[in-house]
Chains A and B, each alone.
Chain A
Amino acid sequence: MKTVNRLFCFILAVFLLFAAVPARAASNSDAIISALKSGVVVNGHVVNIPASYINQAENYLAAHKLTDEQVEYIVGQINAAKAAIRDAGVTDLHKINPTTKQEVLSAVQAAANEANLKLTVGSDKKVKIADSNGAIAFTDESPIKTTGANVHFALTLVPLSLLMTAFCLCVFGISKYKLLKRHD
């Protein structure tokens, strides 16, 4: 179960956005990145996203452009996930209750689909995030390689789950212009 929780946290970390991005966010990546860089306060706790995640977001956003509508729709989904977590007063996703987890995952799933994100498993049997063509889009590996050291999810990373979605969804949502249709 611990591994499943870690996996859940990683996926949420990648998929969820928690910044205070207004519904009509700027379509350029700066607005999203600024939102990611600013922390979020949940029950008095300020949570920041690690720089490596933000940089990965920035890199992917640089390679893929988004429309205003895509950003707006995805942010809408993210705000729903954020609201669920804030309402539950969650600061540690390892301790999230099943109802909130379900609400968050539903929003995440919807946003991920808009973003054309895929969950995949590498040869190392670790879950990774890929784009629709199989190219690795997001990794959670340590910055420093070849030590055999494993990445450990620090508790402070867990609530960042919300943050990641917005930009990731924005980023990965470029090629799919399903948003408006999905509003039906």
Chain B
Amino acid sequence: MNGSTKSKIKKIISLILALFLSLTMALSVLVLVIQNTVLNPDYLRNQLSTSHYYDNVITEVEEKFSSYASASGFDDSFFKTVLNINDVQLKVNESLSVLYGESDVSIGVSDFQNTLYSKLVQNVKDRKIALNTNTDKAVRLLAQTCAETYLQYVSIPYAKEISMYFPKLKHILFYLQIISLSLAVALVLLIFFINHWKHRAVRAYIYAMAGTTLMLTVLPVVFLISGFSNRIALISKSLYELAVCYLNGIAFLSLEVALIFVVALVLLSLLYRYFLKKAKNG
């Protein structure tokens, strides 16, 4: 085998290894993105805040309570005084803790129910309505119904059921990350050592990294531009706004990582020029 043929084979092998490196890096980034979004409670907490989830939940609960007002002889405006954004935040975060397995304590609303009952009784007394046994029973039922509704609205749907899958997913992704990173390192070293001229190795790295950057950029950009997330089938405003923010956030995170890759590409380009100059002079 002459030197020219050997050189060509090395180039082809480098290209193939660079392809694998590109795929491995993409996989590694995908795992990283999932670990920092889906499996990260702080990410969800951020999105809850960004999407004004708590305010939307309060609006939804107030709307429901106003229908109870129509059925129970209380004024709409009374029920606007029973909700507290701090308490809503607390309850939603409790549900979030259950979702991420940080806690398995069920959310309790007995405090809310008791406070509401007291407020209802006070309102009845202020209106000089007699609080007989039947009325007291009806007011208790109202407080109970409101508390159950409140619990429903502040809970993250199926939190307990979904939380069962998170530990498994965490393990799988952890091992996947280790494998992909190890593979990436092995490929980098392989490419480095099979190329006598180091600028060729760096060129292969550039190909790989640029390929990965494109993979990380195109799909999120298409997703964001198409407004696909706006079509998500959630008719609850609080959940809808949260879901849109959440999905868009994941797309933006991918783009941020792509940006880091672009910076790395610039550095690699400088390195390539250095090695190329060295090869020309050498």
- Which chain A residues have a beta carbon within 8 Å of chain B's beta carbons? 1, 3-4, 7, 118-128, 130, 134, 136, 146-148
Closest residue of chain A to B243 (Cβ to Cβ) is A121
Q: How far is the CB of A149 from chain B (nearest CB, A)?
A: 9
The reply to whether B158 and A123 form a contact with Cβ atoms under 8 Å apart is no
* Most chain B C-beta atoms within 10 Å of own C-beta, residue among A122, A134, A148: A148
Identify A124's interface contact among B149, B160, B233, CB under 8 A: B149
The reply to whether B64 and A148 form a contact with Cβ atoms under 8 Å apart is no
* Chain B residues closer than 8 Å to A128, beta-carbon distance: 235
C-alpha spacing A4/B162, complex, angstroms: 10
The reply to whether B149 and A125 form a contact with Cβ atoms under 8 Å apart is no
The reply to whether B234 and A120 form a contact with Cβ atoms under 8 Å apart is yes
The reply to whether B235 and A121 form a contact with Cβ atoms under 8 Å apart is yes
The reply to whether A147 and B145 form a contact with Cβ atoms under 8 Å apart is yes
* Chain A residues closer than 8 Å to B145, beta-carbon distance: 147-148
Identify B161's interface contact among A1, A124, A148, CB under 8 A: A1
C-alpha spacing A4/B158, complex, angstroms: 8
* Chain A residues closer than 8 Å to B158, beta-carbon distance: 3-4, 7
The reply to whether A120 and B233 form a contact with Cβ atoms under 8 Å apart is yes
Q: How far is the CB of A147 from chain B (nearest CB, A)?
A: 7
List 22 A–B pairs whose Cβ atoms lie within 8 Å, in order of A's numbering.
Answer: A3-B160, A120-B234, A120-B235, A121-B234, A121-B239, A122-B235, A123-B235, A123-B237, A124-B149, A124-B152, A124-B236, A125-B236, A126-B152, A127-B157, A128-B235, A134-B233, A134-B235, A136-B235, A146-B68, A147-B145, A148-B145, A148-B148
